[in-house]
Amino acid sequence: MKLDVVNGTLTAILKDTSVVSVIQRPLLFLLSIVKTQLIQYIIATVNETYRVIRSNSTNATIVANALSGYISSITNSNVSPNTANTLSLNEIDEVIDKLINSTVEIDTTASYITVQPPKQQNISDDVIVLGASVNNDTGGQIVDNKNKNNIIQNPGLLAAAIINEDLLNRVTSLNILIIKDPTPFLHADNSSNKTLASSLVVVSVRGINDANAVKNITLYFQLFNESEQRNDRTYLCSYYNTTTFTWDEAGCSVPTYNESLKRYQCSCNHFTSFALIWLPKQSLTSYLNSQDIASLVFQSISIVCFLLIIIHAMFRTIQFPLNTFQIYTLLPLISAATTTILFIFYIALSMTVYTQTSSSHQTNCFTSSTVLM
């Protein structure tokens, strides 16, 4: 019995005034005991699985089972475990990376873990494991070069990660974790207004000795708890930056939305924790402070004044054709034209910066444009 089921039953009883108080009180007392026992069990499970995960065990199967149990415990309840026994996304990434010398596949209602060599024994040589997927109907499944097309064309696909086949020819182990419900990790990034919109995919590839090897992973995300995309949001394909502890889009493409399958697809050139995140769409002026607006206004006035001078000069030339331009009158115009071109360039660059999604690179880009100005 899940904790939310017990909570729901308690709430229903309290609201039902038709229940005789003589029956109601013992039942509430019994359910309260069950709830307390469930909470204690969940906390004990979280603490025990955390202990196994952090024990530096070299047995990948034991660690993978403990990680799967930990994710199930924190997902299927609203219990907050001891903060000292809580795994961050960064730590989960490290755990997945250390699962070696084993073949593991664990599928639960909360997550799917697979640790596989791309080329497996006792299987045809032309079958290569490419990644993993989670389907709303069938659960977790390994993706190989034989079933790839069927999996990605399935409308029930919740999330998937598929790596380029050329790279996997030199890989010894492909480790993937898909966390189906991202709710426990909604606050992994507290420094921005980026919000998780999909399942989490953690990928680690072992045995790549070539530093110049081309890394490419294709990701598929269905919106979590949403029937369709919202036009008032901007969706981005992001990875969890373990240095800044924020969601970052560097190295990932802009996601494309498949109308027929109702999911997003993108690609990245590195391996770590991935997810689809969203940002509220904002108007251009929301990125500008009063100083920025004043700067753009005065620059625009300067451009308009220069254009008026040119138009006035052209009319004067037409009206008085004998009054030709002299060198000393052309120099100020050339100087003004150069300044205007720089103004236009600066405004275009600034507008490009401001209309991009807020990120750690925006400040550096705007500083560069200011220096150029």
Residue 148 has a CB neighbour count (10 Å cut-off) of 18
Return the pLDDT at 208.
76
CA distance 344 to 194: 32
Place of tokens 């989490």: 200
Looking at this protein, which amino acid is placed at residue 74?
I
In the chain, which residues fall in CATH 2.60.220.50?
88-280
Return the pLDDT at 23.
55
Q: Three-state SS string across 32-64, please?
A: HHHHHHHHHHHHHHHHHHHHHHCCCCCCHHHHH
| Phi, psi angle pair for 97, to nearest 5° | -65, -25
22: burial class by Cβ within 10 Å (0-12, 13-18, 19+)? exposed
Return the pLDDT at 363.
47
Residues in the chain, pLDDT under 70: 1-31, 34-39, 41-42, 76-84, 120-125, 211, 226-229, 282-289, 292, 313, 316-317, 320-336, 340, 343, 346-373
Assign domain 88-280 to a CATH class: mainly beta
- pLDDT tens readout for residues 160-217: 999 988 888 778 899 999 999 988 888 888 888 888 999 999 999 988 777 677 889 9
204: burial class by Cβ within 10 Å (0-12, 13-18, 19+)? buried
Alpha helices in 174-289 (DSSP H): none
Return the pLDDT at 133.
96
Return the pLDDT at 293.
73
329: burial class by Cβ within 10 Å (0-12, 13-18, 19+)? exposed
The model's pTM:
0.71
Return the pLDDT at 110.
92
Return the pLDDT at 93.
93
With beta carbons less than 8 A apart as the criterion, state whether 79 and 43 touch: yes
CA distance 92 to 357: 28
